Amino acid sequence: MRVPLANRMLGDGEPTFVIAEIGSNHDGSLERALQLVELAAAAGADAVKFQSFRAAKLVARRWPENGGWKTAEAFGLDCEIHSAGPAHRACMSAIRNSNYYELALVGPEIPTILPPIYADGYSEAMTAVGGDGCYPVPDGPGLGVTLDWDFINRRRTGYHVFGA
């Protein structure tokens, strides 16, 4: 399926449409919001997404007993997972009303904020988007990824085992 949006098409066979998450990082400042839009455009984003809310009116006093995503689904709402990582991809793949994968702090000079801690090629870089326009969900045991423990241990600055 393909749908028109402004001067381009979205959908099957089309390039990935990248939406930069500005969220509420504008802190209510129009000047800051416009600066963030410029940065997103320079990073190659096709669109930006803002949030403007009052937390006290948004957050439920109690978590729904049947799980938030089921409540969202019952009302015909999407349940989006904010942030990125192997666990987030696994969650999204299990929630049928989740559609957007969020990346943070990417740009022309910063393809990813993650150090290369994965030994199996897992990446959060925008270049990791598959031919279908989606990020692949790791399918190995646990979180589905293999950590590069040599890399991690060489950069370790401390170590402590918590226990009884």
pLDDT at 119: 93
Q: What is the pLDDT of residues 44-93, one digit of tens each?
A: 888 888 876 655 554 455 555 555 555 666 667 777 777 788 888 888 88
pLDDT at 135: 85
91 exposure class (CB count in 10 Å sphere: 0-12, 13-18, 19+): middle
Residue 71 domain boundaries? 2-109
> What average pLDDT is seen over the chain?
79
Q: Is 92 contained in some domain?
A: yes
Q: Is 70 contained in some domain?
A: yes
- Going through the chain in order, the beta strands assigned E by DSSP cover 2-5, 8-11, 19-23, 47-50
* Number of domains present in the structure of the chain: 1
Q: What is the sign of the dihedral through the CA atoms of 120, 126, 131 and 132?
A: positive
Q: Kindly indicate the confidence band of residue 151, based on its pLDDT and cuts at 50, 70 and 90.
A: very high
Q: Is 130 contained in some domain?
A: no
Q: Does the pTM exceed 0.85? A: no
Question: Cα dist. 1→7, 11, 48, 78 in Å?
Answer: 17, 6, 23, 20
Tokens of 78: 């999407």
